[in-house]
Amino acid sequence: MNDLISYLGRFHPVILHLPIGSFILTFLLAGLNFFKKNYSEKSIELGLGFSFFSAVITSILGFILFKTGEYQYDSIKIHLILGIVSTLMIGLIWMVYIQKKSPNFFMVLFFLAVVLLSLTGHFGGIITHGEQYLQFPKKENEEAFNLLDKDSLKLYDEVIVEILDKKCVPCHNSTKQKGGLAMHTRDAIIKGGENGAIFFKGDTEKSKLTKYPKLPTDHKMHMPPSGRPQLSNEEIYLIDYWVNNGANFENKIVMSEPELIKNLKILFPQKELSANPPKLKDIKNLIEKKFRLEVVSHASNLITAKFMGKLMDRSSVDALLKIKDQLIELNVSDVVFEKYFFEKLSKFSRLEKLKLQNSAVENKDLEFLFGIPLKWINLSGTKINFEGLKLLSSHPKLKKIYATHIASKPMAKDELLSSSKIEYFFRLDNDFTEMQELQNPILEVEKNLFLDSINVRFSTIGIKGNKIHYTLDGSEPDSLSDLYNNKITIYNSSKLKAKSFKNGWIESQITQSEFFKVKTKIADFNFETTSKDYFNGTEAKGNYYYRLFDFSIGNENFFSDYKRYLPFDSKLIFSIDIAEKTELKEIILSCANNIDRGVMHPKSVKIFAKGENHKFELIGSKTFPREKSKIFKKLFVIPINHKNQTNLKLEIEKYEFPKWHPRLNDANKTNDKTWLFMDELLLM
């Protein structure tokens, strides 16, 4: 046939609107005229004539279109016959109207013709738009959401079909077969078009199915043709993927490739699951029954629940059943419940996550889990054992099982893993950490000096079965040394050393402290020189001097223990009254030293006692050579020749800076004074 004529055939879908429009308008006018007689009969005559004329042209064009061979006779048969009949009918009505025979008969005919014309249009529409066109939109398939939750999917059925239906089938179907190609069934796709197969397994270069969409859009073979909805990059990727993987219609593929998953995700965005809203009455009842509920999101009515009580009785389970269509997650860990709960469990048709840890669940209860779409379950701390897990491993939906009360035995674990795709969480292996060292015991003592005896305690810190062994003679404690139990009572001056021990742990470092039994307390004291603040040089206000007699010894780092020390930047002279009449052997000064900070130990000490003649007499003196080490804490012992005198006087001189010390070379000379830091005086 002539190209021009066949080209004209394409105007059929446009021209066909003329007869339909004009005929219906004329029908309207004729109807009004039938009742009111106020419209010009001439216009009705003209309308009918025009309708007939345009109907004839439409029919001819339609026939030409059919003859081009794009459409099968079978599929357009009804439309073709109806079209011709309608055209003739319009002509008949036109004739009848001109003769003005019977208005009633005319109106009946007219009505019939409108029905015929509508039918023609409908069947014509099916040819171009497909049979599904007028179907009410279907609800979104829930499977589409689950697509990405699957481990594997039938790529053709679940993905490729969706793409082809949307983008190819509108022009390649049972009724319309551009290029002789139909793509609405598997067979049709396999059969290919007039130029042969459209795909070759594993060859995306050769396959037209994958090649044509990638051609430039202005290329004449580009598919879908320009103006039609195009394939997206993801769709192209997925069709390529299908062809590359053998273009199989049946096989399932494993969802493992990230690129595949990524493209699927974009193409099938996850829609939120939703459910019908529950009754508020039921919800309020559940809250009263100690369930803590939460709605998953604004867009859904799915609910997560946690039972907050200790005992979940039958009525609570019944209350929960009221939201069985909404409940997606349930936490009944540490809860006591009856078997009844498990018997009803299969009713929860949406339940995906179940927390059962530390509950009374047993192996035989697990069968009740099979009816529900459970993906996640925590069974830690229950009686469930390997047998139970084996049973559960055939659950169709389960993905994660927590059972951390079970130590993972390699053998049994393999058995489980090979039989299912479930991820198991057992008790952690011990190989994560090496042996850890215990913390040393922490001493809880205020004082290091005592008169008769002193109780020493260790603060208990959070590890069970931690044993503390100690010695009082200065030797290193081991696991055979005395065991600490609640307290240690010390009666004599001693050096306490203690360590923590525990099986499976490395023993701790040593904690040590020295305790001194002194002869007597001090009743009163009087300082002739004043203590000053180390940091700003101001005179100590208030009664800080007791620090020397408070029975507690500071540690080496006097900055962190500043409150235990009494600092002096001059010679120290003071007198004391002893509480009891007793004979002392020696006097001990406890002092810190830190040469960089300007804190120096005593150089010489003189001790006087007031005898019966009320005069102070020298009863002991000692000079200490300067220590080499820079930072230390030391006891300086001065033996005395004491005869029960109660009133003593001490004169202590400290060391000045050695010549090399940077502070001496300081131009301002503001900081060239040394300090004596003393924290305790011991009367032994």
Partner 1 sequence: MDEIHKYFSNINRRHFLKNLGFGIGGIAMGSLFNQLGSGNSQTLHDILNRGELKLPHFAAKAKKIIYLFQSGGPSQFELFDYKPKLIQFKGQDIPESVHGGQRLTGFTSSQKNLPLAGSVFNFKQYGESRAWVSELMPYLSKVVDDLCFIKSMHTEAINHDPAITFFQTGSQQAGRPSFGSWMSYGLGSLNDNLPSFIVLLSRGKSNPNAQPLYSRLWGNGFLSSLHQGVRFRSGKEPVLYLKNPDGVSRLDRRKMLDHLAELNHNQHEMFGDPEIMNRIEQHEMAYRMQTSVPEVMNISDEPDHILKMYGSDSLIPGTFASNCILARRLIEKDVRFVQLYHTGWDQHGNLPKQIKGQAKDVDQASAALIKDLKQRGLLDETLVVWGGEFGRTSFSQGVLTDDNYGRDHHPRTFTMFMAGAGVKAGMTYGETDDFGYNIVKDPVHVHDLQATILKLFGIDHEKMTYKYQGRRFRLTDVHGKVINDILS
**Would you tell me which residues interact with partner 1 (CB under 8 A)?**
272-273, 277-278, 280, 283-284, 287, 293-303, 306, 355, 376, 378, 380, 400, 402, 404, 425-428, 430, 432-433, 436-439, 461-465, 504-505
Nearer to partner 1, 83 or 278 (CB): 278
- Min dist CB 287 to partner 1, Å, is 8
Half-sphere exposure of 254 (CA within 13 A, CB side): 3
Element (H, E) at 516: strand 511-517
Q: Which residues pair with 488 in a beta bridge?
A: 456
Nearer residue to partner 1 within complex by CB, 292 or 626: 292
Residue (199 or 291) nearer to partner 1, CB:
291
**In this structure, are residues 107 and 44 in contact, taking their beta carbons and an 8 Å threshold?**
no
Residue whose structure tokens are 């195009």: 230
Minimum distance from residue 670 beta carbon to partner 1 (Å):
25
3-class SS string, 627-647: CCCCEEEEEEEEECCCCCCCE
Q: If DSSP codes are grouped into helix, strand and coil, which group holds residue 81?
A: helix
CB 440 to partner 1: min, Å: 10
- Count CB neighbours of 180 within 10 A: 14
Spatial CA neighbour of 141 closest among 169, 168, 161, 171: 161
In the bound state with partner 1, the residue whose beta carbon lies nearer, of 164 and 320, is 320
Shorter beta-carbon distance to partner 1: residue 140 or 218: 140
- Strands 400-407 and 423-427 turn out to be parallel
Distance of alpha carbon 128 from alpha carbon 451, whole angstroms? 111
Inter-residue contact 566 to 531 (CB < 8 Å): yes
Cα three-residue angle 490-493-499, rounded to 5 degrees:
60
In the complex, least distance from residue 677 CB atom to partner 1, rounded to whole angstroms: 22
Distance CA 471, CA 400 (A): 53
**Which token pair is 484?**
């600490």
351 neighbors 376 (Cβ within 8 angstroms): no
**CA-to-CA dists, residue 190 to 168, 175, 176, 181, 244, angstroms:** 15, 18, 17, 10, 16
Residue placing its CB nearer to partner 1 in the complex, 549 or 558: 558
How far apart are CB 87 and partner 1 at their closest, in Å? 57
Which CB sits closer to partner 1, 249 or 505?
Answer: 505
Residue among 436 and 671 whose Cβ is closer to partner 1: 436
CB 387 → partner 1: shortest distance, Å? 21
Instruction: Supply the minimum distance, in Å, between the C-beta of residue 273 and partner 1.
Output: 8
Question: Which CB sits closer to partner 1, 376 or 616?
Answer: 376
Q: In whole angstroms, how close is the CB of 308 to partner 1 at the nearest point?
A: 8
Tokens of 256: 């493992």
Shortest separation between residue 652's beta carbon and partner 1, angstroms? 33
Q: Which is nearer to partner 1, 300 or 647 (CB)?
A: 300
**300 vs 520 by CB, closer to partner 1:** 300
Q: How far is the CB of 300 from partner 1 (least distance, A)?
A: 7
Decide the pairing of beta strands 303-307 and 327-331.
Answer: parallel
CB of 277 to partner 1, least distance (A): 6
Enumerate residues 6+ apart whose C-beta is below 8 A from 194.
179, 180, 181
Q: Which residues pair with 152 in a beta bridge?
A: 254
Number of CB atoms found within 10 A of residue 644's CB: 11
Cα distance between residue 523 and residue 647, in whole Å:
10
DSSP conformational letter for 231:
P
- Nearest Cα residue to 161 out of 267, 305, 14: 267
